[in-house]
Structures are given as C-alpha cells and as structure tokens.
Amino acid sequence: MSDEKIYDVPADWKAKAYVDAAKYEEMYARSIKDPNGFWGEQASRIDWIKKPTKVKNTTYDPHNVSIKWFEDGTLNACYNCVDRHLPKRAGQTALIWEGDDPKDDKTITYKQLHEQVQVFANVLKARGVKKGDRVTIYMPMIAEAVVSILACARIGAVHSVIFGGFSPDSIAGRLEDCKSTVIVTADEGLRGGRKVPLKANVDAACDKVGGVNTVIVVRRTGTAVNMEPGRDFYYDDLALTVPAECPCEEMSAEDPLFILYTSGSTGKPKGVLHTTGGYLLYASMTHQYVFDYHDGDVYWCTADVGWVTGHSYIIYGPLSNGAISLVFEGVPNYPTTSRFWEVCDKHKVNIIYTAPTAIRALMQGGEGPVKKTSRQSLRLLGSVGEPINPEAWEWYYHVVGDDRCPIVDTWWQTETGGILITPLPGATRLKPGSATRPFFGVVPEIVDAEGKVLEGATSGNLCIADSWPGQMRTVYGDHQRFIDTYFKTYPGKYFTGDGCRRDADGYYWITGRVDDVINVSGHRMGTAEVESALVAHAKVSEAAVVGYPHDIKGQGIYAYVTLMAGEKPSEELRKELVQWVRKEIGPFAAPDLIQFSPGLPKTRSGKIMRRILRKIAEDEFGNLGDTTTLADPAVVDDLINNRQNKK
C-alpha cells in the first residue's frame, strides 16, 4: 500500500521553519488541553481596537448551537490587512497582478492599496452603503476585486462574492437571499483569451430580482456595455467625486465579515456566514504556519477570489501577514501549458498553492512544458480543493518541485474558514495523497454510520469534535438550517460531509464526499442543483445526477434524464440540455454525460436509489447490492445496457 511511502522533512526546512516536529506536538497538545490559553495568546497576532478578554464561548448542543470567539473584542479586518503595515512596509509590494495576457502585469504597494481601498470605500459610502449592508461582488481576477472586498471590510459592509463563472440565475438567487442592493462588477472579464460578459450577466440577474439600486462597473476591457441611468455607474467616474480618506469602522469580533454561498446535498446554496475576529486570526495564523510564510516571500494562490480559498489565502491570510500576494487573471494553459511555471519564473514565486485538477490537466502535457522553465525560486507547493491522487502528488513533487519542495495538501471547507488538516512543512513527514495531521486546535473524529467514535487505524465519516476560531457561525438568515446541516447527523459534533481514513500513524486520508455533493475540477456543487436545472427544461420529466471518477476533473457529472411523454432522445437534445445547464447554473456545471433513461430506479415509496445510479456511472454494475426493494427491478437492466461510454 502506498501508505508506506514517506518523504522526510528536508534538513533545511527542519532548521528554519517556524515549527519543527517537536514544536508541533507541543503546540498541538497545548491547543487541545487549554484552548482558552492557546487562542488567547494567538489573539495578539492581530491588532485590536479593544482587546478581547473572553476567548472561547461555543456549544455544539444541537438544540442551541452557538459559536462565539473573542466576543468582547473590537477590530477592523481591513485595518489589519492594510493600515497596520504602513509604518514598516508602505513601499513594499502587497499585490502582484498578472494579467491573462502575459504582457499585462502590475504591482501595488501597501501604500497604494491603502489609497485605493479608501477611495473604493468612499464610493460605496456615497452610494449609501452602511455598516451591516450586504454588497455583492461579481468580478474578474483584477486588483479591484481585492480592493472592493477590503473596502467593504473597512466600512463594515458584508461582502458576498459570487464566482465570475456563475450564470444570471445563480446571481439572482444569491442577490435575493441576502437582499443586497449594491453590486460591484466589471464590463467584461478576460480568461484564456476569451471574454466573459460580466455586466450583461448582472443586467440579466437584475431583470429577475428587484431591489438592486446601484451597479458599480469597473472598466476591464473597455467594451461598451449597457448602462442603466441612475442605477449603473462606472467606478472611475465615481472615484473622482469622493474624498481620499476613509476611516475604518470599529467592528465587534462577532460582526459578520462576509457571506459566501456554497452547495450542500439539498436545496438552494447556503449563505455561509463568517465573522470578523476569529476568522481573521485563523486565516492569518494558518497562512503563516502552513506556508511557513516569511517576510519578503512571493506567495501565489491560484484560486479565484470567488471561492473561499481566494478569500482566506489570496486576501485575508496573506495580507494580514503583510505578505506579497500574487493575483492571476488567467488560466493554466493559456497561451501555453507552461504558463504557471513562466509566471513563477517571472515573479520569482516562492510558494505556489493550487488545485489537483490543474496539476492533473498539466500532467497530460508531459514534462516538457514544465522542464523548459527554471522554477528555482519555488520552495513550497500547496494543494487544495479535492483529494490529490498519489500519481498527481508525485508528479507535482518530482517534476514541478524537482524533489526539492515539500507539498502541503490542505484539507478544509468554505464552512471551516481556514485549513484544518495539513502538513506543516518543517514538521510533518509527507505521504503522497494524505492531508496528514490536524492544525492546532483541531480535533478530527472518525465516526461510523451510527455516530460511534472509532479509534486507531480506521475509516468512516469525518467530524470535528470542537470549535476553532475560523468556523462559520450560521447560515445567513437560517440558523436552523445551519444546525440541521452540520450538527444533527452526529449530535455534539460538526459533521464535515467527507469520508476519511486514519492510518496507524494517525495520518488522515480524505476519501471524498459521503453526501450528494460532487466536486468537479475543485468546484463544489450539489447534485440536486444540477437536477433542478435539468427538470426546469420543458422536455425533461425527471433527472438524477451523480459523480463518476474523471481523470482530470476528479469527478465528472453523469446525468440520468427521463423525457416527457412523446419526446424522443437525440444527440441534438443532449447538446441542448448541456447548454441549458450551462446557462442555468454556469459552464462548470455542464453534465459530461447524459443518459436518457425511460425510468429511474426507485423504492416503492418513490425514492430514487442513487447508490445504484452511482455504481452504474462508475461502471461497477456487477456489484449493485440489494435491489429487491426496487419498485421495478427491470429498470436497472435498461440502465446498465444504455450506460454512457467514458472515453
């Protein structure tokens, strides 16, 4: 078993990292034994307006889940990411922006960031935004995305960032849920040489929901877009009309910082709510220790700011640490598949943090496009978003890292705010494919289906026994849904939705979701969302969606579709349905395979048996388990005979 393959901590890492193996054990033990003492001390890593005297006040009691950290402290997150660095590093680069076109780049110092954020904050204020108001941000990967997010934090507005790949319908649903009246967007985005009609998507979303009174448009491509008089304003016009200075709002540690929508097994995406103090402290601390970030290091997280990884590890973690954070507008294979490594050489990147799906896609192009670049500046490689298969891990390690750079495979979720299970590069021996050990303060537990805690080497469902500062506080506007989703399955514990194995060395191996969430190229979505998009099509009567193993995407989307009476399956209809889902949710949710099936396997009470559909999609139909409870067992033969070819 590949369990036995172990990479030792390199000697130079042991010597110079913040934490070596002995220190990890000592700090971890302390963090568990005395969370109040441990986190109380850590609180001083951020600047408070009023220092907290209380540390942890949390309960997972399913009748009354309540999570508060540092509740009597006050602070401002933007101040921590920008203003507090000015005395020492006003002239230091805060952001390196690398455009989609390799000829486009710029740097922004902390002083410039300070100036730009204040102007943006004043623009928001001038449009009536106040503390506690929700501001929706639908932006490409340009510096103004970061600036607008920090501007919200500065004035105490709650940002809700929507990934630029989402459709007008998805934007509309999120606008409606958080009732935001102000949207920040750009005329168009630019990715891989292609234009993304961001403003047009916002217009279409606004046509579906009322209530938006301001759309602020940053010029990216300069193309002419529809501008609704009285509602739509170009950012650069508004910026000319406001003062240069804007003070930071004093926020309570438990005041909301942002909402980020994420998919679960049922229903509409949930508005995951993060608050200010605990989140910021946790993002900052994990960024420093997991990436062993030292002053002057050039750090690059390739995620989009529309996902939690962008929030915590492009913006709040690195900037609170005074880091140099690279923001990349493009994609790994444009103009060529050497792009990632060329960016590393161009900006002398020391730490790169990316997703297994990108690694697997680049692997297909072989070593050539990597080896023609130097990559000498790289010291540490990171992975996030989905399990990294050992083959991809080894390729990342040997081909990209030239056997020189440790890999930190970081497991966490939108809900967790920051990294929970991860190696620390100076402390942890690495096993390819394992996220290894818990971060400070984190107590993973593996439970069986009945909730019994399993000890030692075992596998089951992954829970976390107690709270950590970066944890989400509620589902926006629906605390009961928060409780039902995360604290009811295994009362008294936070249930992650992931399956997990622990080996004899106490290493954790995340095996993927055990609920109806799929992870396609690191994009998390509920199968129910894709199903409801499909059944919204006039010709579809019923749909069931499952994931299946996909060489590059990790999981692909397999849809079983039953048509309305009288409709005939055809290639055209297949294409039409794929286009339909792209339009309804976004391009990343388009089914890879559609199987037209006259019926779906259902129990006599009418429940679709997804277990069977999953097995057929995985080509494991020799082993379907018990099918005797099916209303019509003959359906299964038809499904097997007409299954879609993966190649």
Q: Is 412 in the site for ligand 6R9 (CB under 6 A)?
A: yes
- Phi/psi zone of residue 381: left (φ > 0), alpha (ψ -120 to 50 degrees), beta? beta
| Span from 88-96, 164-172, 494-502, 526-534 in contact with ligand 6R9 (CB under 6 A) | 494-502
Q: Which residues pair with 137 in a beta bridge?
A: 161, 184
- Distance (Å, whole) CA 84 – CA 95: 16
Q: Which of 410, 467, 521, 527 binds ligand 6R9 (CB under 6 A)?
A: 410
Of all residues in this chain, which one has the CB nearest to ligand 6R9 in the complex?
Answer: 414
- Residues 139-158: x where in contact with ligand 6R9 by CB under 6 A, - otherwise, as a string: --------------------
Determine what percent of the chain falls in helix, strand and coil, rounding each to the nearest 5. Answer: 35, 25, 40
Q: Does residue 414 bind ligand 6R9 (CB under 6 A)?
A: yes
- CA dihedral (180, 181, 183, 187) positive or negative: positive
84 is in an annotated binding site: no
CA distance 557 to 546: 6
- 217-276 residues in contact with ligand 6R9 (CB under 6 A) are 262
Q: Does 203 bind ligand 6R9 (CB under 6 A)?
A: no
- Give the residue with the Cβ less far from ligand 6R9, 66 or 413: 413
Question: Which stretch, 394-402, 405-413, 550-558, 618-626, contacts ligand 6R9 (CB under 6 A)?
Answer: 405-413
Residue 519 is a binding residue for ligand 6R9 (CB under 6 A): yes
622 is in an annotated binding site: no
What is the closest distance, in whole angstroms, from the C-beta atom of residue 496 to ligand 6R9 in the complex? 6
Picking from 434, 410, 405, the residue whose alpha carbon sits closest to that of residue 301 is 410
Report in angstroms how near the CB of residue 561 gets to ligand 6R9 at its nearest: 26
CB of residue 157 to ligand 6R9, shortest distance in Å: 23
What is the nearest approach in angstroms of ligand 6R9 to the Cβ of residue 470? 12
Find out whether 283 and 274 touch, Cβ atoms under 8 Å.
no
Cα dist from 190 to 140, 142, 193, 609, whole Å: 7, 10, 6, 42
- Phi, psi (rounded to 5 degrees) for 190: -140, 115
By CB under 6 A, the count of residues binding ligand 6R9 is 24
Residue 308 binds ligand 6R9 (CB under 6 A): yes
Q: What is the Cα–Cα distance from 546 to 578, expressed in whole angstroms?
A: 15
**594: exposed, middle or buried (Cβ count in 10 Å: 0-12, 13-18, 19+):** buried
DSSP string, 65-127: -EEEESTT-EE-HHHHHTGGGHHHHTTSEEEEEE-SSTT-EEEEEHHHHHHHHHHHHHHHHHT
The stretch near ligand 6R9 (CB under 6 A) out of 109-117, 143-151, 236-244, 412-420 is: 412-420
Q: How far apart are CA 346 and CA 460, in angstroms?
A: 44
Find out whether 498 is annotated in a ligand binding site: yes
Residue 154: strand, helix, or coil: helix
Assess 615 for contact with ligand 6R9 (CB under 6 A): no
Q: Tell me, what DSSP letter sits at residue 261? A: E
Nearer to ligand 6R9, 123 or 520 (CB): 520
Residues 456/502, Cβ–Cβ less than 8 Å: yes
Q: Which of 189, 417, 425, 497 binds ligand 6R9 (CB under 6 A)?
A: 497
- Quick note: the x/- pattern for ligand 6R9 over 375-394, rule CB under 6 A, is --------xxxxx-------
For the annotated binding site for CoA, the residues are 191-194, 309, 333, 521, 582
| Annotated binding residues | 191-194, 309, 333, 385-387, 409-414, 498, 513, 521, 524, 535, 537, 540, 582
Binding residues for ATP: 385-387, 409-414, 498, 513, 524
Q: Which residues bind ligand 6R9 (CB under 6 A)?
A: 262, 307-309, 383-387, 409-414, 435, 496-498, 510, 512-513, 519, 524
